[in-house]
Chains A and B, each alone.
Chain A
Amino acid sequence: MGRKVFWAILILALLALPPVTLALGQGFYIDLVRRIMIFAIAAVSLNLILGYGGLVSFGHAAYLGVGGYAVAIFAFYGVNNGFLQWGTAIGASALVALAIGAVSIRTSGVYFIMITLAFTQMLYYLGISIEEYGGDDGIRLKMRSQFPLLDLSDGLQFYYLVLGLMLLSVFVVHRLVNSRFGMVLRATRSNEARSRAIGFSPYMYRLTAFVIAGAMGGLAGALLVNQVNFLTPDYMHWTRSGEIMFMVILGGMGTSAGPVLGSFALLLLEDILSNWRDPRWIGEHWQVILGPLLVLSVLFFKRGLAGLFTRHE
């Protein structure tokens, strides 16, 4: 299947989903798919540094949290202007990514994995310890972000906005990795010594990609807090980082479609397993099934779902 055919089918299916599910009286799928697409944005942004940059960041949930807190703290003080909320979400996540990246990109390999994980955990504990903004319990939003001409409390309008932003983020990453900047980024991934030898210092390229990915993650966080009307430090829980990573891997890292496919695959699988009623214990303890499935997918399904559709790039 060609790349264009794949995207055409996917976009048409996502455009058609709300009217079809409403006609069938299954409107809750709109909510589920919107949630999946929000995580897809986070996965697309992680793919930029993980798939193309080779930076195994185990802390991408940090930006979901920072973006979420930016929106929720504004809302806490009664400021509901969407541009202000989302702009701050993106800006603040970019700044946090700059700080985390500046320290962690100096290291590599296992150190990088552990450090990104540790910094995210630090932000998680910070969220828990700030009692003013709900601490462990989090903040409930009274209303979604306010935009002119757009009403996010209408599930359909919100759905199409998220769809548009998801496609935009796929497009932005696609353009980025095929630009000169992206070429250098990919070169540092495939052979750091050679890219140094032809005169590129990887640090600034990696840090820039890290900041862009963080900013996009912040956008996903702003969307997520609007989706659930609720913010807790759990946005930044380390298992969340692991999940986003799995979305990228399951879908196929270093591909445009991979993160999107992976988000759908992982979150639909979680949804199916956690709603399993016969036998009941599967629904209650679905992670005991999911865990080994994930281990098997790492061992035997190296190229991910995108590998099924396209030839290896």
Chain B
Amino acid sequence: MTFALIFEQLLNGVQLGVMLFLLAAGLTLVLGIMNMVNLAHGSLYMVGAYFAITVGQWSGSYLLGVLAGILGTLLVGMAVEVVALRTLYQRDHLDQVLATFGLILFFNELVAILFGRFALFASLPSYLQGHIELFAGIRYPVYRAVVIAVGLLTAILLWYVVTRTRLGMLVRAGASNRTMVGALGINIRLLYTLVFGVGAALAGLAGLMAGQIYTVQPGMGELILIQVFVVIVIGGIGSIRGALVGALIVGIVDTMGRAFLKPLLGMLLSPVAADTAGPALASMLIYLLMALILALRPAGLFPARG
């Protein structure tokens, strides 16, 4: 029984981890390659969730909604890049933070105008409902298992594209020396727009999958975005591998802390003290972990070369 519970929470941690990874991958690419801090990355996550729900309900097809979520966020991301963010690449980080903060206000309020402020709930098709039996007596929701699978497959795909294809080679070259890549005849602006769009689509994918697990409402992107920052700080800026490891660490530590810290403290302290300290400590756990890792390795676990 306890083993089953621990195992289930571990899987929940991995599930949160792959969501964080999908967000962190796009953000860390944009940071590593364009040297751009994009706070509005969480808004793209929100946009993906709303696209998927709207199209899904309108067409009655879940998969069509998923497709719309990914393609819609890709297009919105590329449009935002061309209209607003492109001019910010040359500016310092402060300007980038402030401008994308303005974008967040705009996106959140625009979504509130179009869909209202209340939370939306997305329904699942029948084949994604229910539980599967993993092994003897341990059952896990099908949908969360699918989320984990999609996240891990995306990670493998991303690794393949970045390290084994021509496009990935250009992206890596652009990260180490953008002027040189431009001089060799590559349209670096187009490459940047494309990278940004793919990052946006990954955020949209995370958002549309989050719709069935968390609530969909304006501002949903920012809460998870700050956790994603923790992931990137832990993993090291610009490193996809760091983003994956960091995301899994943060996802598992956060989930396990929320599930088990209170009962664990209850064994050491009085139940009243554990009731107060447990949730408080659990909510601080990933930030304390971040501080610890920074104290040991200021550039993160996997500092990007270059």
Q: How far is the CA of A96 from the CA of B196 in the complex (A)?
A: 37
- Assess whether A294 is in contact with B97, with CB atoms less than 8 Å apart: no
Using A56-B94, A111-B233 as known contacts, say yes or no to A291 and B105 having CB atoms under 8 A apart.
yes
- Assess whether B290 is in contact with A118, with CB atoms less than 8 Å apart: yes
- Assess whether B95 is in contact with A290, with CB atoms less than 8 Å apart: no
Chain A CB within 8 A of B37 CB: yes
Chain B residues in 8 Å Cβ range of A129: 279-280, 282-283
Chain A residues in 8 Å Cβ range of B101: 239, 242, 245-246, 294
Q: How far is the CA of A128 from the CA of B291 in the complex (A)?
A: 21
A296's nearest neighbour on chain B, judged by CB, is B102
Q: How far is the CA of A239 from the CA of B113 in the complex (A)?
A: 20
Q: How far is the CA of A128 from the CA of B276 in the complex (A)?
A: 11
**Which of A110, A125, A285 sits near B31, CB closer than 8 Å?**
A110
Contacting residues of chain B (186-229) with chain A, CB-CB under 8 angstroms = 222, 226, 229
Using A103-B291, A118-B230, A118-B233 as known contacts, say yes or no to A113 and B98 having CB atoms under 8 A apart.
no
Chain A CB within 8 A of B5 CB: no
Q: How far is the CA of A132 from the CA of B280 in the complex (A)?
A: 11
- How many chain B residues have a CB neighbour from A under 8 Å? 44
Chain A CB within 8 A of B140 CB: no
Chain A residues in 8 Å Cβ range of B287: 118-119, 121-122
Chain B residues in 8 Å Cβ range of A50: 94
Contacting residues of chain A (188-210) with chain B, CB-CB under 8 angstroms = none
A50's nearest neighbour on chain B, judged by CB, is B94
Contact with B along A100-117 (1 / 0, CB 8 A): 000110110111011101
Chain A interface size, under 10 / 10 to 19 / 20 to 34 / 35 or more: 35 or more
Residue of A109, A121, A245, A293 ringed by the most chain B CB atoms within 10 A: A121
Contact with A along B81-112 (1 / 0, CB 8 A): 00010011000011101110111111111101
- Assess whether A109 is in contact with B93, with CB atoms less than 8 Å apart: yes
- Assess whether B280 is in contact with A291, with CB atoms less than 8 Å apart: no
Chain A residues in 8 Å Cβ range of B99: 294-295, 298-299
B residues apposed to A, CB below 8 Å: 31, 37, 84, 87-88, 93-95, 97-99, 101-110, 112-113, 222, 226, 229-230, 232-233, 237, 276, 279-280, 282-284, 287-288, 290-291, 294-295, 298-299
Q: Can you pick out 12 interface pairs between chain A and chain B where the beta carbons lie within 8 Å of each other?
A: A103-B294, A106-B298, A111-B233, A111-B299, A118-B229, A125-B283, A249-B94, A294-B105, A295-B84, A298-B95, A298-B99, A298-B102
Given contacts A110-B37, A281-B113, 19 further A-B contacts (CB under 8 A): A50-B94, A106-B295, A114-B229, A114-B230, A114-B232, A117-B229, A118-B226, A118-B230, A119-B287, A125-B283, A131-B276, A245-B97, A249-B94, A285-B109, A286-B109, A288-B109, A290-B102, A291-B109, A294-B105
Ranked 7 nearest A-B pairs via Cβ: A291-B106, A294-B102, A291-B105, A122-B287, A125-B283, A288-B109, A295-B102
